[in-house]
Amino acid sequence: MDCDVQRARQLCLSLSDISVIIVRNFVKIRNLNLVIGQKLANQNDFYQIPIPSSAIYEFRGSALSPIIQAWDVSFIKYKAVKLPDTFPHSDDYDSFVVFLL
């Protein structure tokens, strides 16, 4: 399984428990296809009114867990899009909105 590393650094996925990860790479070890990445350390609602944004799978994320983990690709549930939550923004923004697709 080949993966463009530059593109994977920006790839967001959601796992079956709805936690969001930033993908670092995909690997195949023996017969296992794994996704390597970091979970969001802080994942909460982007807004509360009229309903909590998590009800429609929109989250505010900030800070990545310092721990790099591996999950079987079968744990992937959704692709996600990560956008800055402030304007204007810089490339090193530390808070963003995540939309599950």
CA nearest 61: which of 71, 47, 46? 46
Q: Say yes or no to pLDDT of 59 above 80.
A: yes
Q: Measure Cα distances from 75 to 79, 83, 90 in Å.
A: 12, 23, 32
Q: Which residues span the domain enclosing 92?
A: 5-100
**pLDDT tens-digit map of 1-42:** 444 445 445 789 999 999 999 999 999 999 999 999 999 989
Specify the residue for token string 């993966």: 3
Number of domains in the chain: 1
